[in-house]
């Protein structure tokens, strides 16, 4: 099969991806108006319900417009062979292979940064503002943007530099060295994310003295979790939305609660959410997540290595000279259908983990409080109460609130 065949295959994949994405978004959007089970409907006020529907409508419209423009843009760029043109032009002025690759990716990054920044501004200061979520000031928005720009340039630049070095040194075994390096990097990031990255954007503090701390301490004792690993983060400086998460593993694990929770939730509800996060620790979910991601990145890099050494595929985008950056882009495009197939499997696994963590909280007697917390969370965050089952199956990392409430009630009955 020749280069043209694979080139058209890439265009076909891009179009397929665009159609699949839009199809899912549209069926999901239409499904939101289907009636909920009466018992569930009774948990949410009519006003909340109406607000939720409007919020979804605004986000759907915005997402469809942005998604369509960017998909069409990418399809045109690939179809008209703009990438090899840029590659050829840069080769005229830059001889050094490292500098060439860094400049090439730098240009793509800069373009997407310029495209996405006004959209993020709109999302934050128009849509989120309209529903009362936004607390970000323009100054904070700009500072955040500059910080993440610097971080991406430094970390992204370093990663690309090391990968190009492996590519130049170890042609056939490139994938293996790259995999070892990337694995070490992701383990490091997972361990030190809370210490190195989060403090650039947020403050994390231990729980303050008081009734809540006492309640948490009592639960931690029962569940065998260290109180020192529980933190409150100042999420309220950007948004009124609420959440909590579990991160890291081993001695570097921590549970982080959003400070917005302290105002809106009762102590028992907060402990219930904490119990859910402890469930993730008990069942070693972050460790399993890490292992699956290491295996999948190993397979991905092995396939990337095959493409890089292939005389046709490494030049499929229309470039005459095979290079790290053109191969990586070609691979990303050819790999997208495989990624599409993997998506639902990782979503299924993640949803199972959520059910396990919920069941863990219920086991400790926090079923009813967790149910209340889930209702509050989805009412406050205006989550979609009625997503399309197919959309959920494909994309959702967390089960929809209705399914979680039903499952918590079930495990409560079993415990009793
Ligand atoms: Zn969870």
Residue of 229, 358, 380, 412 marked catalytic: 358
Q: What separation in Å is there between the alpha carbon of 295 and the centre of ligand 1?
A: 22
Same domain, 317 and 269: no
Residue 271 is part of a domain; what is its CATH number? 3.30.2010.10
Provide the pLDDT for residue 415.
62
Same domain, 294 and 266: no
Q: What separation in Å is there between the alpha carbon of 274 and the centre of ligand 1?
A: 10
What residues flank ion ligand 1 with Cβ within 5 A?
Answer: 354, 357
How many structural domains compose the chain? 2
**Which helix or strand (DSSP H or E) is residue 257 part of?**
strand 254-258
Catalytic-residue membership of 97:
no
End-of-domain residue from the set 249, 282, 315? 282
Same domain, 174 and 222: no
Same domain, 37 and 79: yes
Query: 206 - beta bridge partners?
Result: 231
Q: Maximum Cα–Cα distance for the chain, whole Å?
A: 74
Same domain, 219 and 296: no
Q: What's the full length of the chain, in residues?
A: 416
> Do the Cβ atoms of 219 and 275 come closer than 8 Å?
yes
Provide the pLDDT for residue 411.
83
Q: What separation in Å is there between the alpha carbon of 278 and the centre of ligand 1?
A: 9
Q: Which residues form the domain of 231?
A: 204-282
> Do the Cβ atoms of 333 and 10 come closer than 8 Å?
yes
Nearest to 48 by CA among 362, 376, 291: 376
Map tokens 């929770």 to a residue: 261
Same domain, 228 and 322: no
Same domain, 263 and 291: no
End-of-domain residue from the set 251, 282, 313? 282
Provide the pLDDT for residue 1.
67
Angle at 291 between CA 186 and CA 284, to 5 degrees: 105
pLDDT tens across the length of the chain (416 residues): 688 999 999 999 999 999 999 999 999 999 988 888 888 888 899 899 999 999 999 999 999 999 999 999 999 999 999 999 999 999 999 999 999 999 999 999 999 999 999 999 999 999 999 999 999 999 999 999 999 999 999 999 999 999 999 999 987 899 999 999 999 999 999 999 999 999 999 999 999 999 999 999 999 999 988 888 899 999 999 999 999 999 988 888 999 999 999 989 999 999 999 999 999 999 999 999 999 999 999 999 999 999 998 989 999 999 999 999 999 999 999 999 998 888 999 999 999 999 999 999 999 999 999 999 999 999 999 999 999 999 999 999 999 999 999 999 988 777 65
- Burial level of 29, CB count in 10 A (0-12/13-18/19+)? buried
The strand pair at 230-233 and 254-258 is best described as parallel
The strand pair at 204-206 and 230-233 is best described as antiparallel
Same domain, 165 and 141: yes
Same domain, 377 and 305: yes
Residue of 277, 354, 380, 412 marked catalytic: 277
CA–CA dist 16, 32 (Å, integer): 25
Provide the pLDDT for residue 221.
92
> Do the Cβ atoms of 279 and 358 come closer than 8 Å?
yes
Catalytic-residue membership of 234:
no
Same domain, 63 and 130: yes
End-of-domain residue from the set 256, 282, 308? 282
Contacts of 54 (CB under 8 A, 6+ apart): 131
Q: What separation in Å is there between the alpha carbon of 291 and the centre of ligand 1?
A: 18
Contacts of 13 (CB under 8 A, 6+ apart): 333, 334, 336, 337
Same domain, 163 and 30: yes
Same domain, 174 and 28: yes
CA–CA dist 88, 367 (Å, integer): 62
Global pTM reads 0.91
Q: What separation in Å is there between the alpha carbon of 280 and the centre of ligand 1?
A: 7
CA–CA dist 185, 159 (Å, integer): 9
CA–CA dist 398, 260 (Å, integer): 21
DSSP assignment, residue 35? P
Q: Count CB-CB contacts under 10 A for residue 119.
A: 14
């Amino acid at each position: 099969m020749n280069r043209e065949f694979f080139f058209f295959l890439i265009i076909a994949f891009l179009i397929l991806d665009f159609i699949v994405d839009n199809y899912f978004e549209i069926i999901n959007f239409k499904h939101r108006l289907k009636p909920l089970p009466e018992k569930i409907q009774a948990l949410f006020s009519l006003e909340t319900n109406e607000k939720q529907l409007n919020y979804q409508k605004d986000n759907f419209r915005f997402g469809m417009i942005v998604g369509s423009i960017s998909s069409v843009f990418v399809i045109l760029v690939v179809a008209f062979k703009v990438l090899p043109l840029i590659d050829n032009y840069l080769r005229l002025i830059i001889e050094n292979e490292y500098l060439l690759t860094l400049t090439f990716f730098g240009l793509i990054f800069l373009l997407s940064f310029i495209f996405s920044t006004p959209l993020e501004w709109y999302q934050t200061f128009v849509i989120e503002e309209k529903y009362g979520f936004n607390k970000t000031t323009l100054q904070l928005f700009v500072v955040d943007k500059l910080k993440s720009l610097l971080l991406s340039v430094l970390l992204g630049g370093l990663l690309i530099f090391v990968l190009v070095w492996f590519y130049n040194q170890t042609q056939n075994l490139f994938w293996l060295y790259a995999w070892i390096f990337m694995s070490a990097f992701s383990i490091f990031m997972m361990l030190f994310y809370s210490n190195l990255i989060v403090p650039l954007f947020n403050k994390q503090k231990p729980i303050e003295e008081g009734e809540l701390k006492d309640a948490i301490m009592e639960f931690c004792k029962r569940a065998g979790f260290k109180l020192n690993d529980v933190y409150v983060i100042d999420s309220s400086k950007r948004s009124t939305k609420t959440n909590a998460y579990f991160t890291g593993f081993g001695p570097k694990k921590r549970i982080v609660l959003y400070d917005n929770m302290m105002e809106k939730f009762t102590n028992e509800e907060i402990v219930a959410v904490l119990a859910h996060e402890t469930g993730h620790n008990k069942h070693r979910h972050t460790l399993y997540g890490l292992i699956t991601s290491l295996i999948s990145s190993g397979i991905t890099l092995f396939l990337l290595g095959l493409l890089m050494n292939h005389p046709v595929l490494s030049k499929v985008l229309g470039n005459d000279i095979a290079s790290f950056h053109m191969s990586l882009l070609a691979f990303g495009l050819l790999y997208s259908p495989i990624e599409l197939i993997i998506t639902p499997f990782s979503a299924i696994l993640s949803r199972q983990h959520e059910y396990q963590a919920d069941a863990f909280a219920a086991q400790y007697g926090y079923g009813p409080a967790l149910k209340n917390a889930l209702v509050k969370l989805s009412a406050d965050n205006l989550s979609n109460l009625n997503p399309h089952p197919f959309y959920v199956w494909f994309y959702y990392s967390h089960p929809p609130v209705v399914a979680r409430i039903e499952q918590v009630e079930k495990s409560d009955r079993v415990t009793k």
